[in-house]
Amino acid sequence: MSYGLGLREAIAGAETTPLIGIYDMYSASLAARHYDGLFVSGFGFAASHYGLPDIGFIAWPDIVAFTERLRLAFPRHHLLVDIDDGYADPEVACHVVQRLERAGASGVILEDQKRPRRCGHADGKQILPLEEYLEKLHMVLDSRTEMVVVARTDATEDAEIERRAVALAKSGADVVLVDGVRTVESVRRIREVTGGVPLLFNQIGGGRSPRLSLSELTELGVDVAIYSTPCLFAAHDAIDDALTRLRDADGRLPEPPPGGASVKASTELLERNISRRHGSRHVPA
């Protein structure tokens, strides 16, 4: 079974499939112990790889190289990759999609923003004319083999959200995402107008969308949930707290808590990622 088909099978299940946003190999190593699916978050990657906000700084060779490293370490996990606007040019988008599929990505998310782009839960978003986005989307769909393609709209007005959601559902894309959706009622309406096409919901800490459990999302008919930043924001708080305590203790390291992070525990975690220990890279049927 290919990686794309494996993700399709998970999406077709009765319950909402969670994909956990990661920002580097270490966060992926921890997330992979708890969940079967990982999401390469543009927000997290821009923050960790460049130390910059999610406003269009990501270069596609970097995201491809990161995906290659992830796939070697996690041969049996779903990998959904955020490719923003396809790096502006439709030909580049198609090339990146083909490279990612060869690297082992299970799917990609392609948005309808125009540059300068923004995080989907930020102010100031601008979107492409629908026809222009659909042309790019159709080129990407024709370029992939079995990879899942998520069509994302960043429209903010109710009428335009509905118009684009309907168009994306009819486009041939595998999944539809309306990013930054603000209410449960909006999710219900989007589910209604997209018919039977799988629906994705994006949750981000401090974002605009309501915080919903997987059970609640299943009841709403949502097929996939991505959690963009739980690892990044948890690391932010934990590192800040640890360094504050280190400073207050005059530089004396605290005693590691039982079962907590240590040289031994960290090494054991990372040793699981050595590719030769995984055997076949293919998803088991």
Handedness of CA 244, 250, 251, 256 (dihedral sign): negative
pLDDT band at 137 (very low <50, low <70, confident <90, very high): very high
Q: For residue 190, give both structure tokens.
A: 């989007």
pLDDT at 284: 43
Q: How many residues does the chain have?
A: 285
Instruction: Say if residues 153 and 173 touch (Cβ distance below 8 Å).
Output: no
Contact 60, 96 (CB under 8 A): yes
> Which one is predicted more confidently, 281 or 63?
63
Tens-place pLDDT, residues 268-279: 899 998 888 886
The pTM assigned to this predicted structure is 0.92
Q: Characterize the bridge pairing of strands 224-227 and 199-203.
A: parallel
Comparing 127 with 251, the larger pLDDT belongs to 251
Q: What is the mean pLDDT of residues 38-65?
A: 95
Annotate 202-248 with DSSP letters as a single string: EE-TT-SS----HHHHHHTT--EEEE-SHHHHHHHHHHHHHHHHHHH
pLDDT at 88: 86
